[in-house]
């Protein structure tokens, strides 16, 4: 019996939580550190959020780690080609991701942000700017997103909202832990 092809219609970026929040002139991107294979935690302190380019872009990923690092490298090349133009670089990456036979097979999803814009990038060619500057991806993404939306009008700053929302997501999502990495930029 031949192994079946993966079901590409189902979301495959289920094992993490990445969240971005813009508030008060700050953009914060945070993610948990859990790496799971099936029902087993294989690493608890992975860094899924990092600075890209010359440090003026923050990226976070959900999905296959090697695939995400390949996409980060490609995005950094696009940022060199289109300096200070995150949206243009992201669109060019999305075009390549959708049309290149090798890249099409990569199973990851990304959030990227600079001082001006936050974007979600997917392998289906999507480059989406979230409403209200808040977006979450991964298995705990919707939990963190809901928590951040509830907290956005309160006294917490962007980084504190990301930290609290990721903590709430960790209470709900078994693929999310409390070993978080948060990067911030002044918008």
Active site residues: 16
Q: What's the chain's Rg over C-alpha atoms?
A: 16
Q: Which of 146, 145, 165 is nearest to 157 (CA)?
A: 165
Q: State the virtual CA torsion across 163, 91, 72, 145 in degrees, nearest 10.
A: 20
- Say if CB 60 and CB 110 are below 8 A apart: yes
Do you know the residue count of the chain?
A: 187
What H or E segment, with its residue span, contains residue 137?
Answer: strand 134-138
């Amino acid at each position: 019996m031949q192994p079946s092809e993966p079901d590409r219609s189902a979301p495959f970026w289920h094992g993490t939580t990445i969240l971005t929040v813009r508030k008060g002139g700050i953009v914060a991107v945070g993610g948990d550190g859990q790496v799971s294979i099936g029902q087993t935690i294989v690493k608890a302190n992975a860094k899924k959020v990092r600075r890209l380019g010359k440090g003026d872009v923050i990226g976070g990923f959900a999905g296959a780690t090697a695939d995400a690092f390949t996409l980060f490298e490609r995005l950094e090349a696009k940022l060199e080609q289109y300096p200070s133009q995150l949206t243009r670089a992201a669109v060019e990456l999305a075009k390549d991701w959708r049309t290149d036979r090798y890249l099409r097979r990569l199973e990851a999803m990304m959030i990227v942000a600079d001082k001006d814009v936050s974007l979600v990038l997917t392998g289906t060619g999507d480059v989406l700017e979230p409403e209200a500057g808040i977006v979450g991806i991964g298995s705990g993404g919707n939990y963190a997103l809901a928590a951040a939306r509830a907290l956005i009008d309160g006294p917490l700053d962007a980084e504190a909202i990301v930290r609290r929302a990721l903590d709430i997501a960790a209470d709900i999502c078994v693929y999310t832990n409390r070993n978080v990495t948060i990067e911030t930029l002044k918008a």
